[in-house]
Structure formats: structure tokens, C-alpha cells
Structure 1
Amino acid sequence: MAVTPTRRAGAFAWAAALALALAAGGAYAAPKQTERSKQKAVAEAERTALQKKLVDLKRDIGKTESAREDAADTLAESEEAISNANRSLRELAEEQSQTNAKLAQLAAEQLRLAATVAAQKQQLAKLLREQYVAGNEDRMKLLLSGDNPNRINRELQLMAYVSQAQAKLLESLRANLKAVEENQAEAQNAKEELDEIAQEERQQKSVLEQEKARRAAMLSNLSKKLTAQRKEAGKVEQDEQRLGGLVERLNKLIEEQARAAAAEKARQEKLAAERAAKAKAAAEARALARAKAQAERERIAQENKAKGIRTPPPKPEPVEPEEPKVAEKAPERDEKTPRPSDVALAPAAPDGAFASLKGQMRAPVTGKVAAKFGTKRGEGVSWKGMFIQAAEGAEVRSVAGGRVVFARWLRGFGNLIIVDHGGQYWSIYGFNESLLKREGDAVKAGDAIAAAGNTGGNEESGLYFELRHQGKAFDPAGWVKF
């Protein structure tokens, strides 16, 4: 069959459309910048206000003490750095696992999309060949052929269906090519995130090794001084007072934040009630005005009827346009307005939840109970909690759900983490090698929150564990299964 100029024009038009569609898939977007660093920066910024409060609180407690120098304080910076490095490594490992899983999903999706695109390209190429052979003058030929009008109509409808199918196929191909492009960009982003994570892991491992070596050297130099200080009953009492003061001040801080949050909630509820009352009053006023207007119309109609005057039909009432819904502007923050990072200290468990678990909670770490609540710790000093011997690095788990309200180094207890369980119940975990959770983090029962160790100048590796209610320590034995 001879190829006419009209056929060539139709074929070239389809070829141009196909070229545009394929070009969309060929020019892949340049790798976009990863969002991971931005998200981490935002998360850290949200904790800044909370951390400042806790640093100030810890500093205030330190100012009240008469002791100016403690051998354990020399280890503080190194032990905190080791804790931070270990926590960062754990977080990076979790990120790496999630990113690898995401990359695997993207790879599977890419294969599926590639197969779909290949099939659609073949189908479109076949349609283009058929269009090229048939040409675009068929509709005109049919109209001028003088054939049966019904047949012409059927043929034209069939051609329309074919054209629609071709358009849909082309649109679907474009959408799939765009999905391939986005998939590749996302995969590239995930690979860049993995590179970032790997780089950070190398840095953290280097920091960890350096800090461990520094701590070992300091321990060797301070060995005699630490041993002498551990035997001082006054020092042990000071340590306990320091922890008690910390718990008391934290409790006050949380109560202040709870009051501020309650006041803000009441203010928002009051504003909502005022808006609702205002809207109700406006609706009632409109209804009253309509009723008065209706009564006036009826009165006039009766007067006109008595006079024999025809009353024109009432004009339709104008429909009042709905007030556009404008997003409420967030209230401007001032010094007294609680920030999200401050309110985050509120317990993550309701009052009564912890008390209901009495006798059912599991031990926070696997090990041997070496010192029980109330037993002698030194001259005239008794244990306010329990000491559980455990291997260095053993996972320490939260005994119940709650929120971390303190996670940093404290003299006498090393790397210390405190969880608020609501109802003024607290669990306290000391001597840890590493703290795996941060202040403000919500935790569930059994979540790993720390790794056991011997920080704070302690001889044995293990965990110091306390339970407190309303600031007072009580025996964990009747609450936790050891």
C-alpha cells in the first residue's frame, strides 16, 4: 500500500507524542538532598529547651553541695561521651535497618514499574505501526464513500474508541515513567542516607574507642582515690540527698508544666465556647429577623386582601453566603506558654496504670541481686534501692510504660535514667555504661533504655535500681519479679 503524506503526518504526530513520553522517563531528576539531616536538626531543636531546664536544675543541685571535688567527676565527661556514642551507634543501626528495608521495597517497585513500562511501550509501538499503515484519512474516506450511513456511524464510533484507548495508554505510560523517575530519585536519596549513616557510624566508633581508652587511663590513675571515697558514709548520704533533690525538683517541674498545659487547654476550650456562643447568637438573631419579616409580610397581605388589592408574591430571600472557614492562627508564644519539648515531660501513662502492675513487672536487667532495699551499705547508711550485678553492656529495660524525664550523668550514680510512670511513680536506673533513650522519649514496658555498667566510680558492673512514689523510695521486691 502506498504511503500518503496524510499517513506520514499521522504517524509523525504519534511518534512525536511517544518521543515526549519516553523523554519524560529518560531524563531522570538529579538526586535530591536527603531529608535525614533536616529531620535530625528539628528533633534536636525540639529538645533544646527541655535540656536547658535539666542542665540548670542539675547545676542548682551541685551548687548546694559542700564537696568541691570528687574522683568520679573526673570520669564524668568521658562516661557521658561513651554513653552518647553508644546511643548514637544504636540509633544509627536502627536507621540503617529501616533504610535498607525501604531500599529493598523501592527495588521491588522499580522492577514492577520497569516491566509495566516495557509492556506499555510494546503496546504503544504496535498501535503506532497500525496507525501508520492505516493512516488518518480513514474518517474522511468513510464520510465521502457514500456507503450505508449506519455502517459509517459504527466505523466512526469504533475509531473514536480506538483513539481514546490510545490516549489512555499514552497517559498511563507517562504516569508510569514519572513513577519510575520518582522511584529512582527516592532510591538515590535512600542510598545517600545510607552513606551518611555509614560515615556517622565510623565517626562514632572512633569516638567510642578513644573515650574508652581515656576512661581506662583515668580509672587507673584514680583507683586509690575512688576506693577511699567509696568508704565515706558522708559521701554516700550526699549522693542519696542529691538524687532525692533531683527527683523533688523534677516533680515540681512536671507539675508546673501540667498546670501550664491544663491552663492552655482551658483557654482553648473557653475560646471555642465563646465562638460557639457567638455563632449561636448570630443564628438566633437571623432567625428572629426572618420571623419578623414573615409576620410583616403576612400583615400586609391581610390588609391588601381586605382592600381587594392583589398582593404580589414575596421575593425569594437572598441566600446568605457561608462564612469562609479560615484556619485559626496559632497563638503567639511567650515565655509562659509551654513549648512541646516542655510538655513532653508529662507522663506517657495514665494515673493508676503503674499501681495496677504491682507484683507483675519483670526485672529491669538479667543478673544477681547483690544488695537489697534497706540493707546496710556502709556505716549507718542503708540502700534506698537494689544493686543487681550484671555484665557490662547488658540491656536495661523499663519495668513499665512511661516517659523519660532525666537521662544524663549524676555524681554518685554515673549515667542515670529516670522514667515517670504517672501517678507520681518513678523508676530510677543508675551506674549505666550507656543511656539509650533521651529526655522526653516515651517508653513501653520492656523497652531497652540503657546498658548496664560501672559508671560514677563504682567497682562492680551492674545496675542500681530504685522505685519511688511521691518522691520517697520504697522496696521494689513486692512490685518487681526478681
Structure 2
Amino acid sequence: MASSYRHVAALLLMLSMGAAGISPAAPFGKVTERSKQKAAAEAERAGVQQKLSALKKDISKTESAKDDAADTLAESEQAISDANRALRDLQQEQADTNVKLQQLSSEHERLAATVAQQKQQLARLLREQYVAGNEDRIKLLLSGDNPNRINRDLQMLAYVSQAQARLLEALRANLKAVEVNQEQAQNAKDELEEIAQEQLQQKAKLEQEKGRRAALLASLSNKLVVQRKEAGNLERDEQRMTALVDKLNKLIAEQAAAAAAEKKRQEQVAAAKAAKAKAEAEARALAKAKAAAEAERQRLARANQNKSGTIKPAQPAAPNPADAIDADEPPKVAAVRPTPAPAPVDETPAKPADIALAPVAPAGAFASLKGQLRAPVAGKVTAKYGSRRGEGPTWKGVFIRASEGAEVHAVATGRVVIAEWMRGFGNLIIIDHGGQYMSLYANNESLFKRPGDTVKPGEVISSVGNTGSSEESGLYFELRHQGATFDPAGWVKF
């Protein structure tokens, strides 16, 4: 019988080691509600957008020209851009959710295999216990067998019970993990269905707005042709853009200063915490030294009392200047002046909107890229910087003819500071590259970035169009420094 118990114990050792190696899978990550996420993201952007809208409104209210045919297209062109951006975001979200669903499916297969293995182990264990006779501890104690053998068998029984409990606990944990996995997979499927419905809505909206824009273009075609050739309109567009860039530079400088102040404040908070920790450590060290000195003084006092009780004290000899320390005197504690407590520092973090447009690139980073920038879009340059625009002013940037819908890329690292429709420029993106350098991308069909977004070189930011009453499909591109335009030809490899 004892050999049967040892056989079961050996089996349990193997099974428990296997169970220990199969830890229940951690949940893949709590699936958040898309609607709440989107609402939170929009709320974060609201503050930045409000400032930019006020800035743009402040520029527009000074203009006397009200009857601009291109303005009639503004709402439709903005709606097309918004619908295309929403579709692009949904496609990315759909791809991410599919990846998550695949990972959940793989995890489910692993968990299912683990649970099946643990069930087999448990069934085998129960069979072995049944074959062993499943005698209890009382019977073993009363069996009259060798006490050493009884003790070993009792220990084996205890081990069997513990291993069985561990195996059952691991099985329960994995069954719970399977349940969580299935719930997350269902949530992911629900998200995909929600995304699919939103895609259908956005596509319908897109087609509706494209039809509306086509009708407006047909009705305004003659007026647009006339206004495109009016030098006054072109000059007003340029003045409006210059005013916008100047105000943006001021706003960016303010937010850069706010970001620097916040960084300095955080450094002060960290320094204050470090100083406080140092002062507390010094105070503890001083208290410990004083306690040690007091203990030594008391020890010496007791030693002197013992001496005076047994030996008559002799007359003290003249002090020897060479003696540095009297053995009967307690050591003196060096005076330690604690570090003064730092002045209180405000630890309240700055509001995100206060620094949402602060530069993300170092001041000299863009200037070092002269001659190395890649063209924002593949196409043919049909208008060069400084060339005449018919009877009007000269071009302040370049126009690159490209097919509608072609991807437009950021030329360098930066932060999006404008992403909206503007008279004369259509759907417009302006990126701040630090050091008062900016790049401008106009006449886009769709804008894929929002104010406050950071971009990397080559990142897709928009798609080519002919918004803003542009005569043909393409991208109008400018570079500016300290608000003034300069020729991109020496900077960009067209």
C-alpha cells in the first residue's frame, strides 16, 4: 500500500511541476469603449481648436471682401475632408482591432489546450488515487505498520492533497482566463461591427458632399474664373496668410515659454523632493549619532562607577597635551547643520491645452536639413517661387501638379498648428518645425492630421485635391521663416 502512495506522490510531483509551469494567462488588456475614447480625444482637442478658431476669426473680421465664390465651397470641402479623415481613421482602427482579435484567438487556443491538459492531469490523478485505495490518515495510524513508514506515507498523503489543490486552483484560474478572453473577443467583434457601420455612414456622407461640391462648382464656375484672376484677391489671400502665420508664431512662442516654465517647475519640484529627502536623511543620521553618543556616555559613566566602587581613585596626572582623546570622556558629536527645508513648490501640473502647440523639434534642427528635404508629394512643379501669377503677384511657394487623392507627406519633424479650410488655400495644413520655421500644404482634398498632432519626416498628413478654388489638382507648398516666405528650391529635392 505504501508503494501505491509513493507512486501517486511521484505522479503528483510531475503534475504539480507541470501545473506550475502553466500559469494562467493574464487578460489581454481591458477593452475600452470606443465612444468614450473618441469623446475624450475630442475634448482634449477642443481647447486648442477654440484658440485657433478665435485667431482665424480675428483675422477675417478685418476684411472688407465678403462675396468670395470660394467661400461657398468651404463647408462642402471641409465636410469631404472630415469624411475622408474619418474613413482613414476607421480603416486604421479596423486593422488594429483585427490584430487584437487575432491575438485573442491565439490566446484562446493556448488557454483551451492548457485547460484540456490540466483536466487530463486531474483525471489521471483521481484514477491513481482510486487505484491506491485512497486510505485515510486514521487507518494508517492504526495499521500497526512501521512508524517510520507510516510517517512517510502520511507526508505523501499531505503532499498529494496539496498538489491536488494547486492543480485545481490553476485549472480554475485558466477557466476564468478563458472566460475573460471570450468576453474580450466578443467586445472586439462588436467594435468591428460598429466600425463597419460608421464606415458605411461616412462613405454615404462623402458621396453626398462630393455631389454637392460638384453642383456648386458648376454654378460658380464663371465667378471662380473671374476671381482667380483678380490681383486684389490674391494679395488679400497672401496678407491673410501672413497675418495668420505671424499670430501663430506668437502663439507658439507663448506656448513654448509655457512649456519651458512647466519643465522648470517640474525640475524645481524634483529638486525640492530631493532636498527634502536629503534633509530627512541628515536628520535621521544626526539623531542616530546623538543616540550613539548618549549610549557611549552612559557606558563610560557605568564604567567609572564600577572603578570608583573597587579601586580608590588616584590623583589625576597633569594633562598630557599629546593625548588627543581622553578614554573616559564620551566622544563629541560633530555639529551637523541640517539642510534647510526647501521653499514650497506648486506641484499642480499645467493644463495640456496651454502647451499643446509648443515646438517638438529643437530650434536648429530644421535649418540643418537644408538641401536634404524630400518633396511632399510626387508630381511636376508647374509654378516656381517668385514667378508671376498671371496679372497678379508672384508665387510665394511652389505648385506641384499631382493626381487627386495622392498622399502628401510631412517634409520634416514638427507639430501641426493649423488643419482646416482657409480662403484662397482650401484645406490647409501648417506644420511648425521649431526655430520659427514652418511648412505649408494647401489645396488638399482631405486633412488627416489635427492641430497639436506631432509628425515625422515622410508621414502622410493629407491627400491632394483642388480645394480653395484651385484650377487643377495639385499641392501648393510653402516654406516660411519668422513669418516670411523663402524659395523651397534650395531646401527640397523636387
TM-score by length of 2: 0.82
Find the partner of 2:204 among 203, 206, 225: 206
SS at 1:207 equivalent: helix
Deviations 1:124-168 (A, max 9, x none): 123233434545434322221211222222322332332232222
Structure 2: segments with no counterpart, 5+ residues: 1-23, 25-29, 310-329, 331-343
Structure 1: segments with no counterpart, 5+ residues: 1-24, 26-31, 315-327
Aligned pairs (5 A) from 1:194-273: 194-273=192-271
Larger Rg: 2
- How many Å apart are 1:240 and its aligned residue? 0.8
SS at 1:378 equivalent: coil
SS at 2:389 equivalent: strand
- Say which is worse superposed, 281-290 or 78-87, in terms of deviation: 281-290
Q: Quick check: 1:408 aligned with 2:417?
A: no
Find the partner of 1:56 among 51, 54, 70: 54
Deviations 1:396-446 (A, max 9, x none): 011111111110000000000011111111110000000011111111111
Deviations 1:458-481 (A, max 9, x none): 110000000111111111111111
Partner of 1:42: 40
Find the partner of 1:398 among 381, 397, 410: 410
What is the distance in 1 between the residues matched to 2:243 and 2:230? 20
SS at 2:205 equivalent: helix
Q: Which amino acid aligns with 1:382?
A: T
- How many Å apart are 1:291 and its aligned residue? 4.9
Partner of 1:173: 171
Change in Cα spacing, 1:121 to 1:303, as seen in structure 2 (3 Å) is closer
Aligned pairs (5 A) from 1:89-238: 89-134=87-132, 136-238=134-236
Deviations 1:278-313 (A, max 9, x none): 444455455555555665666666666666568xxx
TM-score by length of 1: 0.84
Q: Which amino acid aligns with 1:423?
A: G
Change in Cα spacing, 1:33 to 1:427, as seen in structure 2 (3 Å) is closer
Partners of 1:34 and 1:192 within 8 A in 2: no
- Say which is worse superposed, 255-264 or 40-49, in terms of deviation: 255-264
Q: Quick check: 1:86 aligned with 2:84?
A: yes
Find the partner of 1:478 among 454, 466, 490: 490
What is the distance in 1 between the residues matched to 2:78 and 2:113? 53
Q: Which amino acid aligns with 2:465?
A: G
- How many Å apart are 1:339 and its aligned residue? 2.4
What is the distance in 1 between the residues matched to 2:46 and 2:151? 74
Deviations 1:318-338 (A, max 9, x none): xxxxxxxxxx998557xxxx5
SS at 1:426 equivalent: strand
SS at 1:405 equivalent: strand
Partner of 2:460: 448
Aligned pairs (5 A) from 1:62-73: 62-73=60-71
What is the distance in 1 between the residues matched to 2:290 and 2:172? 62
Q: Which amino acid aligns with 2:51?
A: K
What is the number of residues matched between the two proteins? 432
Partners of 1:34 and 1:189 within 8 A in 2: no
What is the distance in 1 between the residues matched to 2:152 and 2:277? 60
SS at 2:428 equivalent: strand
SS at 1:456 equivalent: coil
SS at 1:376 equivalent: coil
Partners of 1:110 and 1:183 within 8 A in 2: yes
Provide the identity percentage. Answer: 70
Change in Cα spacing, 1:144 to 1:303, as seen in structure 2 (3 Å) is closer
- Say which is worse superposed, 458-467 or 279-288, in terms of deviation: 279-288
Change in Cα spacing, 1:161 to 1:306, as seen in structure 2 (3 Å) is closer
Partners of 1:367 and 1:389 within 8 A in 2: yes
Aligned pairs (5 A) from 1:428-467: 428-467=440-479
Change in Cα spacing, 1:329 to 1:303, as seen in structure 2 (3 Å) is closer
Find the partner of 1:361 among 373, 389, 409: 373
What is the distance in 2 between the residues matched to 1:277 and 1:119? 57
